[in-house]
Chain A
């Protein structure tokens, strides 16, 4: 049930945020501080998500799962090589799956 509540809050909130952009006075964007902060927040959050989801299983312990680390490393390599999104995701899952099949991590 709590999950449903979280879903409802997320869905309603995300919609409200989208609508607010279309409805708000455009000059809000002209405020440099607002604009900078709003544009920078996703970078901090996304980087944090990468770090947390790579080095933990979602709980309170930091872990270093060899197979998962290698998978994320493969994704980074694919990105460095300017691979398309599909390849990046496939490289991550494929590498991790392969290492697990070999009994590593």
Chain B
């Protein structure tokens, strides 16, 4: 429970950052809050508003957001057995399948504890994330020009914090990150805004050809630990939780 509140608080900070960045990008307060309420997965939300800010192609922005959101599918695959929810409860629980809830649930020793952790983290996060999004959005709307606050550095800083724990997984991951960044930068002058980031996904294909598949364990621990990826990322949430262990019911 205390963990859930701690994560909620850290995520709340990013909520303010998201609300602020979103309104600064040109979205209305209503649009900003709608994203936090209904998309409820921070990295995707930041990716979408980043493209809108540049006056880019919103379709490319949405595609980037969805590609980032695809990791939640993986969390769902791993949580399905543990949560054991059906029907309406499954439909509600699905909304909460994100980095922090997965990391919190998978770190628990028993399925019962995992269910409690999932529910508590989901509730705390949903509350904090949406309240602070509104706060940041309204505040920014009042202030107007926010460039003096250095908020344009917040987006990259958050993404950096999200990818950081993953970079410790080994050389292949570092290579993927470097190639992804390089591809995207090279594409910026020639492709419409939003598309360069999509191109970078191709870097993920580097893996299998470049290196033999790692042990299962590696992939498992890595994802859940790197799972500080947030509704938008609470860089330190994962380290608080320690390396997540798979709960096997």
Number of interface residues of B (CB under 8 A): 119
Q: 1/0 per residue B34-63: CB within 8 Å of A? A: 110011110111111011111110110110
Tell me the B179-226 residues at the A interface (CB within 8 Å): 179-185, 188-190, 192-193, 196-197, 199-208, 213, 219, 222-223, 226
Q: Is the interface of B mostly helix, strand, loop or mixed?
A: helix
Q: 1/0 per residue A2-43: CB within 8 Å of B? A: 111111011111110111111110101100110111111111
Query: A39 to B77, alpha carbons, bound, how many Å?
Result: 13
Report A81 CB to chain B, min CB distance, Å.
12
Are B159 and A46 interface neighbours, CB within 8 A?
A: yes
Contacting residue for B62 out of A13, A41, A97, CB 8 A: A13
Are B69 and A71 interface neighbours, CB within 8 A?
A: no
Q: Is B140 an interface residue (CB 8 A)?
A: no
Query: A49 to B50, alpha carbons, bound, how many Å?
Result: 9
Are A89 and B162 interface neighbours, CB within 8 A?
A: no
Are B14 and A85 interface neighbours, CB within 8 A?
A: yes
- Minimum CB distance partner of B53 in chain A: A58
Contacting residue for A75 out of B95, B149, B160, B200, CB 8 A: B160
Q: Is B235 an interface residue (CB 8 A)?
A: yes
Query: A13 to B59, alpha carbons, bound, how many Å?
Result: 12
Are B58 and A71 interface neighbours, CB within 8 A?
A: no
User: Interface on B for A, CB 8 Å cutoff?
Assistant: 10, 13-14, 17, 26-27, 31, 34-35, 38-41, 43-48, 50-56, 58-59, 61-62, 64-81, 83, 85, 90-91, 93-98, 147-164, 166-167, 173, 176-185, 188-190, 192-193, 196-197, 199-208, 213, 219, 222-223, 226, 228-229, 233-237, 239
Sample of 7 further A-B pairs with CB below 8 A, known A17-B69, A74-B153: A9-B66, A14-B72, A18-B97, A35-B74, A41-B71, A61-B189, A71-B156
